[in-house]
Amino acid sequence: MRDTSGADTGATGAGDGTSQARGGTSQARGGASQAGGGAVVRVRFPWEERVPVEVLLGQVRGRLEVGDRRVREFLAEFGRRLLRPTLARRHPELGSLGFFLRPSELARTIEGMAGEHVRVPRGLIFHIPPANVDTVFVYSWALSALMGNRNVVRLSPRSGAVAEAIVETLQEALREADPVVGQTQRIISYEREAEAVTTALSAACDLRVVWGGDRTVQDVRRYPLPPHARDLVFPDRSSFAVIRAAAWLCAPRATRVSVAEGFVNDTYWFDQAACSSPRTVFWVGAEVDCDAARADFIDHVSRVVTARGWGVDAAMAVEKRVSTYGLAAEGVAQSVEFRGNALANVTLAAADQAPRRWLGAGTFAHARLGSPAELAGLVERRDQTMTHYGFGRPELEELARALAGPGVDRMVPVGSALSFHRVWDGVDLPAEFTRLVTVVR
Amino acid sequence: MSVFTMDEAEREAVLVPELAALTERHRATCRPYRRILDAIGAVPPYERLMDLPWLPVRLFKTHELRSVPQEQVFRVLTSSGTTGQQPSQVYLDREAAAAQTRMLAATLRVVLGERRLPMLVVDSRSVVRDPTLSARGAGVLGMMNFGRDHTFVLDEQGRVDAEAVKGFLERHGSRRFLIFGFTFMVWLWLRDLGADLSQGVLIHSGGWKRLAEQAVDNAEFRRRLAAECGLTRVHNFYGMVEQIGTIFLEGPHGDGLYCPDFANVVIRDPETWQEAPNGVPGLIEVVSTLPTSYPGHVLLTEDLGVVRGVDDGAWPGKRFEVLGRLPRAEARGCSDTMGQVG
């Protein structure tokens, strides 16, 4: 794989290729002081190499169209490889990614883009995904590539084993792909101290996609974009669950078990720190129902957690004590109950004090609401996903309209909190990754 | 009068009622503490040390926990701890401040004797001059109270000041003198002096992490100091700003840290939260009767430790070892890509 593109890499590596390769990291670190020149990035895809950022930008050429067949074939092949049993067993989260990349899903996304205008790619997209959720970068990159963009994705040098597996699988899938895929797509790594790289990539792109916390967004905004370009940002968000107590109490045991399983998937998968993982559970109904439903729910969740063998390490156990005792000290938590280290439940003194910050894996705040309409007074702009159980569609749609001002971008059943969708954080990603050309004759 | 006198049974009998009373006193006077105890359902009687409700020590970084009115606060202690974190805030009234100074002196007297000794500081004078006093500077400054004729081993540029050390040893080297420094500073600079320190009593603290990286443990540390400087009276200690005045001091034979009579440690299994058997590592909980102005009398630290023995060493009570710091919990969240982790 590494030498198939000799024409591309040869030009850059011929001069001082060896010293570059050796000095890559330190050069990248020192990049801040250099005005863009010479800062080296480590390319991870389509092949491994080290090149100065300017060379990288020169390499990312080629034209694609919205829904380009060659990209679709590549993504579908990549998705198929992710679903291989050996890989899916080792990294189960890759299964849902593979599912997202099925040919039928890709076709549906493209069909949804039809309209009266001519849709064209935006151009060069610079992606900055979070370092610690290994799969997120693939979703936004894949949608962007599907929309015909050239992409440069910055993968953290400290990304984990899952990211490694993804990059390897991408490289494998590339062997079957049209060369245009390798020409137009780049995944790179560089130290964040290498400000020259961020500067150069920002100055060259048509859209910059920043996933991560508020701090990252603020930090990245220091690097200017070209006048026509803009940022698509995904700052800190928090999420909650709403369960109708009566519905829970009336549900057959098998249903309660599967909802509890779904809830555990929503929360424990990324240590409850994914922006869409619920942190607070609002119980809707009469007090006596809510108390009974909550107790039964906690029992079920506890059993699932035990059966799955989810545990937390000592550091996380201490973290949960610090955060929940802190809530108690502030008068926010009325009671704090631990079921081993893996599950902690906090009863809030008042529903409007629901904490938005991360409290440690498997830490749930609970509060009661008389009706779902009371959420209108509680939600904030940073509230993203509402997972629900026991509500009908008309009721949810009415609620969505009622909450419209402040927040909540997604309402999905318990168990679907982490399922990625092309509409995320209230943003239609394929639409953002394209531009509309008005044609009137 | 030594403060290392009580065996484990006697210590438990004396401390539990005192700490239980302190728990109720803080419950009555510190509202955030009362709310915590209420939320976790902590109620007396507390019959064993194990039964006392503990606070995670990090709460002193995130919350104001004070059991005396603001106007009675005589001194606020802060410590930076790990970078990027809030400092701990510890509120002392006159009584608590006096008690911590008195008991620290009583503890050190066991190895230093009644009189102030000439003192060699294995550091530079600049660490105590910095207006934004570092934890290291504060430690040196606090310790200087227990010595006289303070002589710094390093000059302002951080190089060994051979003349100063030579002068000090000419004046004091033939009789008992005090040496103080942070563990890694001692390792870095003291061995190279080529001096005869056989009359010195070394007190050192600050953790073993940097030495562990060089595969130097306590036994090696003591062996090399003895071989290279003749320094045989060596006492490591463990303490923290959240329990100021209480230090757990290494016994004369280097066989572990000992608890003064007004304090103790419990090693808790971080899975069951029960007391770990001797020899089994766990989280260190420190208890002390000194914190009367803030609810810091029973604290769960984020340090790992192990009890090596009970009532079987140079001094009575538990002897234990600190094994290192528990790493901070890290989440695989969506937040802070380049800001923090990237």
This model of the complex carries an ipTM of 0.93
Predicted local confidence at residue A5, as pLDDT: 34
pLDDT (tens digit per residue) in B260-318: 999 999 999 999 999 999 999 999 999 999 999 999 999 999 999 999 999 999 999 99
The pTM score is: 0.87
Q: What does the pLDDT average to over A295-317?
A: 95
Nearest to B332 among A133, A334, A360 (CB): A133
Average pLDDT taken over every residue of chain A = 89
Q: Assess whether pLDDT exceeds 70 at residue A377.
A: yes
Name the least confident of A25-29, A112-116, B163-167, B332-336: A25-29
- Chain B residues with beta carbon closer than 8 angstroms to that of A237: 334
Q: Assess whether pLDDT exceeds 90 at residue B135.
A: no
- Chain B residues with beta carbon closer than 8 angstroms to that of A331: 35
A319 touches chain B (CB under 8 A): yes
CB contact under 8 A, A328 and B36: yes
Distance from CA of B24 to the nearest CA of A (A): 16
Tokens of B120: 């060699």
Q: What does the pLDDT average to over A238-242?
A: 96
Q: Assess whether pLDDT exceeds 70 at residue A423.
A: yes
State the pLDDT confidence band at A341, using cuts at 50, 70 and 90: very high
Q: What is the rounded CA–CA span in Å between residue A251 and residue A300?
A: 13
Distance from CA of B45 to the nearest CA of A (A): 20
A318 touches chain B (CB under 8 A): yes
Strand partners, A153: A127, A187
State the pLDDT confidence band at B200, using cuts at 50, 70 and 90: very high
pLDDT (tens digit per residue) in B108-134: 999 999 999 999 999 999 988 877 777
CB contact under 8 A, A213 and B340: yes
Contacts of residue B91, Cβ cutoff 8 Å, sequence gap at least 6: B64, B65, B66, B67, B68, B73, B75, B76, B293, B294
A215 touches chain B (CB under 8 A): yes
Predicted local confidence at residue B267, as pLDDT: 98
CB contact under 8 A, B56 and A274: no
Residue A21, sorted as left (phi over 0), alpha (psi -120 to 50) or beta, turns out to be: alpha
CB contact under 8 A, A315 and B283: no
Residues 39-58, chain B, touching A (beta carbon < 8 A): 39-41, 55-56, 58
Residue of A nearest to B327 (CA): A315
Q: What is the rounded CA–CA span in Å between residue B155 and residue B139?
A: 18
Percent of chain B with pLDDT over 70: 95
Average pLDDT taken over every residue of chain B = 92
CB contact under 8 A, A213 and B334: yes
- Chain A residues with beta carbon closer than 8 angstroms to that of B62: 322, 326
- Chain B residues with beta carbon closer than 8 angstroms to that of A236: 335
Residue B166, phi then psi, degrees to nearest 5: -60, -45
DSSP H or E stretch at residue A20: helix A17-29
Distance from CA of A335 to the nearest CA of B (A): 4
DSSP state for residue A438 in the 8-state scheme = P
Q: What does the pLDDT average to over A242-255?
A: 98
Q: Assess whether pLDDT exceeds 80 at residue A34.
A: no
CB pairs under 8 A between A and B: 160
A332 touches chain B (CB under 8 A): no
Q: Assess whether pLDDT exceeds 70 at residue A321.
A: yes
CB contact under 8 A, A273 and B333: yes
Percent of chain B with pLDDT over 90: 80
Q: Assess whether pLDDT exceeds 90 at residue A6.
A: no
Q: What is the rounded CA–CA span in Å between residue B91 and residue B74?
A: 8
Predicted local confidence at residue B335, as pLDDT: 62
Tokens of A281: 């559970």
- Classified as helix, coil or strand, B325 is strand
Tokens of A72: 């679709």
